[in-house]
Structure 1
Amino acid sequence: MTTEVAMDQPGEGRLAHAQSDHPPIPRAKVGVVLANLGTPDNTDYWSMRRYLSEFLSDKRVVDYANWKWQPLLQLIILTKRPFSSGEAYKSIWNTEKDESPLLTITRAQTEKMTERLKALYGDDVEVDFCMRYGNPSTESVLTRMKEKGCERIVFFPLYPQYGSPTTATANDQAFRTLMKMKWQPYIRTVPAYYEHPAYTQALANSVQQAYDSLDGRPSKLVASYHGVPERYLLEGDPYHCQCQKTTRLLREKLGFSKEEVDTAFQSQFGPEKWVGPQTVNHVAELAKQGHKHIAVLSPAFSSDCVETLEEIQEEIHDSFMAAGGETFTYIPCLNDRDDHIEALTQVVNNELLGWLG
Structure 2
Amino acid sequence: MSDASNSLTDHPGAGRLQHAPADHPPVKRAKIGVLIANLGTPDNYDYWSMRRYLNEFLSDKRVIDYAAWKWQPLLQLIILSKRPFTSGANYKLIWNHDKGESPLMTITKDQTEALRARMQTQYGGEVQVEFCMRYGNPATKKVVRQMVADGCEKILFFPLYPQYAGATSATANDQFFRALMEEKYQPAARTVPAYFDHPQYVEALAQSIERVWPTIEQEPEVLVASYHGMPKRYLLEGDPYHCQCQKSTRLLSERLGWEKGKIHTTFQSVFGSEEWLRPYTVEHVAELAKSGIKRIAVVAPAFAADCIETLEEIEGEIREAFEENGGESFTYIPCLNDDAAHMDALAAIVSENLRGWIE
Q: TM-score, length-normalised on structure 1?
A: 0.98
Is residue 2:147 matched to residue 1:152?
Answer: no
CA distance in 2, matches of 1:21, 1:123: 28
On the 8 A contact 1:5/1:27 being kept in 2, the answer is no
SS in 1 for 2:336: coil
| Misfit runs of 4+, over 4 Å | none
1:22 aligns to what SS in structure 2? coil
Instruction: Kindly indicate whether the alpha-carbon contact (under 8 Å) linking 2:8 and 2:29 is maintained by their aligned counterparts in 1.
Output: no
Q: Give the counterpart letter for 1:275 in structure 2.
A: L
Among candidates 180, 204, 207, match of residue 205 of structure 1: 207
Does residue 42 of structure 1 match 2:44?
A: yes
Distance apart, 1:8 and its partner CA: 5.2
Q: What secondary structure sits across from 1:129 in the alignment?
A: strand
Match of 2:14 in 1: 12
1:123 aligns with 2:125: yes
Does structure 2 conserve the Cα–Cα contact (< 8 Å) formed by 1:4 and 1:16? no
Residue identity matched to 2:118: R
Cα distance in structure 2, aligned partners of 1:267 and 1:10 = 48
Residue of structure 2 equivalent to 1:346: 348
**Aligned equivalent of 1:248:** 250
Task: Using the TM superposition, give the Cα deviation of residue 213 of structure 1 relative to its aligned residue in structure 2, in angstroms.
Answer: 1.1
- Worse-matched range after superposition: 299-308 or 120-129: 120-129
Alignment partners' CA distance in 2, 1:164 and 1:149: 31
Confirm whether residue 315 of structure 1 aligns to residue 317 of structure 2: yes
Shift of 1:44: 0.2
Within the candidate set 69, 82, 99, 1:97 is matched to 99
> Percent sequence identity over matched residues?
62
Which residue does the alignment assign to 1:85? 87
1:144-169 deviation digits (Å, cap 9, x = unpaired): 00000000000000000000000000
CA RMSD in angstroms comes to 1.1
Measured in 1, the distance between the counterparts of 2:10 and 2:257 equals: 58
Q: Which residue of 1 aligns with 2:169?
A: 167
Per-residue displacement from partner, 1:304-324 (whole Å, max 9, x unpaired)?
Answer: 000000000000000000010
1:15 partner SS: coil
Task: Note if 1:235 corresponds to 2:232.
Answer: no
The TM-score normalised by the length of structure 2 is: 0.98
Separation of aligned partners in 2, 1:51 and 1:77:
13
Distance in 1, matches of 2:37 and 2:31, equals 19
Per-residue CA deviation, residues 318-345 of structure 1 (Å, 9 max, x unaligned), is: 0000010000000000000000000000
Contact 2:51 2:80 in 1 (8 A): yes
Partner-residue secondary structure (3-state), 2:210: helix
Structure 2: how far apart are the matches of 1:133 and 1:24?
A: 33
- Letter of the 2:92 partner, please give it: K
Alignment correspondent of 2:275:
273
Deviations 1:234-267 (CA, angstroms, capped at 9, x unpaired):
0000000000000000000001111211000000
Paired residues of 1:32 and 1:156 also in contact (CA < 8 A): yes
Residue equivalent to 1:264: 266
Partner Cα distance (1:345, 1:330) in 2 = 26
For 1:285 and 1:31, the matched residues in 2 are separated by 47
Q: Distance in 1 between matches of 2:196 and 2:58?
A: 26
For residue 125 of structure 2, give the secondary structure of its aligned residue in structure 1: helix
- Once the two structures are superposed, what CA deviation does each residue of 1:39-72 show, in whole Å capped at 9, x if it has no partner? 0000000000000000000000000000000000
CA distance in 2, matches of 1:11, 1:196: 37
Q: Does residue 183 in structure 1 map to residue 196 in structure 2?
A: no
Residue-pair matches, total: 357
Structure 2 runs not aligned, ≥5 long: none
CA distance in structure 1 between the partners assigned to 2:8 and 2:40 by the alignment:
40
